[in-house]
Homo-oligomer: A and B are copies of this chain.
Amino acid sequence: MSVSTVSKALNDNPLISALTKERVKKLAKEWNYIPNEAARHFKQSKSYTLGVIVPDLLDQFYVLAVNGIEKVASKKNYNVIVSQTHEDADIEEKLIENMIKNRVDGAIITVSKNTKNVERFQRLTYAGIPFVFFARYFSEQEYDYVSTDNVGGAKKAVEYLLKRGHKRIAHLMGPSFLKTSIQRYNGYVDALMKYKVSFDPALVEEVDLSPEQTYAAVRRLMQLDNPPTAFFTFKNYISLDVIKILKQEFSQQLEKTEVVGFGNLPLIQYLDYKPIAAIDENSFRMGEKAAELIFENIEHNDKELEEERPAQHMRIPCRLIMY
C-alpha cells in the first residue's frame, strides 16, 4: 500500500474505501504510529501555532488570559507558545524575531511598558503574520486590539464610591504614556461629573506601579488640608500598597478610608484589611476574544481575498466585585 493511500486513509479522505481506512487505522494503532505533526505543518506551510507574548506570568491576570487563549486555540487544534518579556523591550524584539523564524500563524502581544518603537510589529506584518495587541495598546497605529472597557470600568468603581457618600476620592493613575491610564482617568472624571462632584487635580497622582511611588503619593495625599476618604487605583497591587502604607502611617484613617481598584485577585480573600471592591477585568474572556480575533484574521488571510480587513478594536465589559 502506498504512502499516499495511508495518508489519505488516516485523514479520512472520502476517496478512500471504508475497508482500506479500517485496515490502515488498525495497523497504525498496532504499531503505535503517531504522525509527525511537524512534517504535516511544514508541508502545509502552516504551523498551527499561536505565539503569545506577555510581560510576566507571575501576574495572574496574564495567566488567566493565556487560559482563555488556550481554550479557543485547542478547539482549533492549535498550539500556543507563551513567552514573557519581563518588561524588557530588547527581549520583546528577540521574541518577535523568534515568532517569525518559527512561522507562527498568528500572535497575541502585550507590549512591554518600555517599548518605544513600533517597527518590530511591522516586521510581523511584512512576514504576513496577523497579530492583536492585548490589554495595553500602542498609540495611533491601526492595529487590532482587545482591551478591557477601561472608561466604563473606572466609572463603575468611582460611582460605587460616590454612592457610598465619598466626596474626596483620590485617583492613583498609571503611567500617562499608556492609553490605558488615560482612559481610566477619564472614567474617573466622567463619574465625578455625572455625580456633580467637583474635580480636584490635587487628588490625582501618577505612579509607576512601584511600591515606593505609591507610598509617596499616599503620603502627599493624606497630608492635604482636606485629605481623601477614598482611593480609586489603576491596579490591584497599587490598592494593596495603599492599604499597607495607610496601616503603617495613617492607622487613624485606615478604618474610614475605602479603596477600589482594577483587578480582582484570588489572594484578596486572605487579607484582613482589603479593598472594599475591585473591577474584574475578565482577562479569561479577553484572552478568548483575542484568540477569536486572531483566527478571524488567519481565516481571512487563508482566503487570500483582496479586500483589507479593517482593524478591530474590542472592549470587554468589566464588573464591579464587592468583597
| Minimum distance in angstroms from A24 CB to a CB of chain B | 17
- If over half of A's interface residues share one DSSP class (helix, strand or loop), that class is named, otherwise mixed; here it is helix
Contact A58 B63 (CB under 8 A): yes
| Residue A320 is within 8 A (CB to CB) of chain B in the complex | no
Query: Do residues A57 and B63 form an inter-chain contact, with CB atoms below 8 A?
Result: yes
Question: Which stretch, A186-194, A198-206, A266-274, A302-310, touches the partner chain B?
Answer: A266-274
Decide if A41 is an interface residue (CB 8 Å cutoff).
yes
A122-138 vs B, CB cutoff 8 Å, 1 = contact: the mask equals 01001100000000000
**Is A244 an interface residue, CB under 8 A from the partner?**
yes
Shortest Cβ distance from residue A66 to the other chain B in the assembled complex, whole angstroms: 7
Count of this chain's copies in the oligomeric assembly: 2
Contact B34 A38 (CB under 8 A): no
Q: A270's contact among B34, B64, B97, B267, by CB below 8 Å, is which?
A: B267
> What's the interface size class on A, roughly?
35 or more
Please tell me if the beta carbons of B103 and A37 are within 8 angstroms of each other in the complex: yes
Decide yes or no whether A13 CB sits under 8 A from chain B: no
Q: Once the chains bind, are A37 and B102 in contact (CB under 8 Å)?
A: yes
A110 sits at the interface (CB 8 A): no
In the complex, whether A39 has a CB less than 8 A from a CB of chain B is yes
Q: Report the minimal beta-carbon distance from A281 to chain B, rounded to whole angstroms.
A: 16
Look across to chain B and name the residue whose beta carbon is closest to the beta carbon of A267. Answer: B267
- Nearest first, the 9 closest Cβ-Cβ pairs linking A and B are A37-B101, A272-B272, A267-B267, A57-B63, A42-B42, A37-B102, A34-B100, A240-B270, A58-B63
Not counting A34-B97, A37-B101, A243-B270, a sample of 15 additional A-B residue pairs whose C-beta atoms are within 8 angstroms of each other reads A34-B100, A34-B101, A35-B101, A38-B41, A38-B47, A38-B102, A57-B57, A57-B67, A58-B64, A58-B266, A70-B83, A70-B84, A79-B81, A244-B270, A271-B272
